[in-house]
A = this chain, B = another copy of it.
Amino acid sequence: MAPIFKKHTSVRDYSRRIVDESIIKDILDAAIRASNTGNMQLYSIVLSTQPKIKDALLPLHFYQQMVKQAPLVFTFCADINRFSQWCRLRGTEPCYDNFLWFSTALVDTILAAENAALAAEDAGLGICFLGTTMYNAEEIAKVLNLPKGVVPVVTMVAGYPTDQTIKPQPTERLPFEAVVHFEQYRRYTDEQIDEYYSQIENLDKMKAFVADNHVNNLAEVFTQVRYTAKDGAAFSEKYLDFVKKSFTI
């Protein structure tokens, strides 16, 4: 397997080193070469590099300093605006503002985003995806001047790691057989779940992580600290309300 597929780790500290225009172009070219539905290209990529825009995005990504530090901030957006404008200009009514096409556009957006990520890493940059994009999508849309029909999905920052950045080892994933099913989905027994997850839970760094969060176990870190029911419900409603301005769901 090519090394590029094995070495991904998220980079969260970036140097001020400028990224060559040719690398930026390669990243964007790689993105648009990804598969997409019917070659409709129902996405747009907004690349922000100016401090003014990045500073406006920073609080919307909950002050993750990467947004300020990293020279490149890519916001990947599902986009039916451009395609719809083309249809109308050609005298035919577009019909892509429903849940199926939201999901389809989202797929195509992310296929492009992952190509961009791998191309960036292949060029020696570090990257990090920010899931916070969905949390403040409407506010991000305002900063980026997105019209109706364009929904931010995910943000990727990219740049060179600092000299001080200790390149971490790839994050431990669940064992292969926990995620992959052959022929049909294999319903998990509790014993299997216990076995798969305990491999991660038993790592020293995970035990320390649980202790730092003052909860009983790793699952509680997720449900009671990082991604709680209360926050999830609020941000879910907020994102859905915003998506509904462009799509009928």
Q: For A226, what are the chain B residues with a Cβ–Cβ distance below 8 Å? A: 38
Q: Which of A41, A87, A90 has the most CB of B within 10 A?
A: A90
Nearest-Cβ distance from residue A246 to partner chain B, whole angstroms? 13
Tell whether, in the assembled complex, residue B185 and residue A87 are in contact, meaning their CB atoms are under 8 Å apart: no
Q: For A216, what are the chain B residues with a Cβ–Cβ distance below 8 Å? A: 90-91
Q: Is A144 on the interface with B (CB-CB < 8 A)?
A: yes
A122 to B183 alpha-carbon distance, docked (Å): 24
Tell whether, in the assembled complex, residue B229 and residue A93 are in contact, meaning their CB atoms are under 8 Å apart: yes
Tell whether, in the assembled complex, residue B193 and residue A85 are in contact, meaning their CB atoms are under 8 Å apart: yes
Stretch at the interface among A12-20, A58-66, A159-167, A231-239: A231-239
What 0/1 pattern do residues 15 to 38 of A give for CB contact below 8 A with B? 000000000011011101111011
> Provided the pairs A8-B34, A82-B193, A107-B153 are in contact, do residues A41 and B92 lie with their beta carbons within 8 angstroms?
no
Q: For A1, what are the chain B residues with a Cβ–Cβ distance below 8 Å? A: 26, 29-30, 119, 122-123
Number of contact residues on A: which range applies? 35 or more
What 0/1 pattern do residues 64 to 98 of A give for CB contact below 8 A with B? 00000000000001000010011101111111101
Nearest-Cβ distance from residue A239 to partner chain B, whole angstroms? 5
Nearest-Cβ distance from residue A151 to partner chain B, whole angstroms? 10
Nearest-Cβ distance from residue A9 to partner chain B, whole angstroms? 9
Tell whether, in the assembled complex, residue A185 and residue B147 are in contact, meaning their CB atoms are under 8 Å apart: yes
Residue in B closest to A197 when the chains form the complex, CB atoms: B86
A92 to B94 alpha-carbon distance, docked (Å): 45
Tell whether, in the assembled complex, residue A129 and residue B35 are in contact, meaning their CB atoms are under 8 Å apart: yes
Tell whether, in the assembled complex, residue B100 and residue A235 are in contact, meaning their CB atoms are under 8 Å apart: yes
**19 pairs of residues in contact across A and B, judged by CB atoms under 8 Å:** A1-B122, A4-B4, A5-B26, A5-B122, A34-B114, A35-B127, A38-B227, A39-B172, A40-B222, A45-B180, A46-B181, A82-B193, A85-B193, A86-B196, A93-B229, A99-B240, A100-B235, A103-B153, A106-B106
What would 19 more interface pairs be, CB under 8 Å, given A8-B33, A115-B118?
Answer: A2-B119, A5-B115, A8-B34, A29-B176, A32-B173, A38-B227, A46-B185, A48-B184, A82-B188, A85-B190, A86-B193, A89-B190, A93-B229, A95-B228, A96-B227, A103-B239, A107-B131, A114-B114, A118-B118
